[in-house]
Amino acid sequence: MTAKRRINPVYRALHRPLTVLGVERKLFFFAMCMGAATFNMLSSLLGGILMFALLYFTARWATNTDPQILRFLLSATKFKTQYDPMKFSPIVIRRVSNA
């Protein structure tokens, strides 16, 4: 008896990240707040716009690279150092033949 393979349709709209102007929502909000803070601290509209633009394009690059990158960065401090790839030490494997 062979089991019939079940196929479930997956709709693309369900797996798209929620973005604002192509940037993940939290990163967009951060860029907006930092642009507003720069505007308030420096009393310079140009400075606020430049800060927002810099952070916006950085966030857009990060969202295009991986939409979940913010979650990875925030949870990275919780992992133990044994999973750190920079602290990798190779394991020597010795093969023994049964001959």
The pLDDT tens digits of the residues spanning 22-65 come to: 888 888 999 999 999 999 999 999 999 999 999 999 999 988 88
List 19's β-bridge partners, or say none. Answer: 24
Q: Do 55 and 34 form a contact (C-beta atoms < 8 A)?
A: yes
* Nearby residues of 94 by Cβ (< 8 Å), 6 or more positions away: none
The whole-number pLDDT of residue 44 equals: 92
- In 1-99, the DSSP E strands lie at 19-20, 23-24
The whole-number pLDDT of residue 72 equals: 78
Tokens of 82: 């044994």
Residue ranges per structural domain of the chain:
17-87
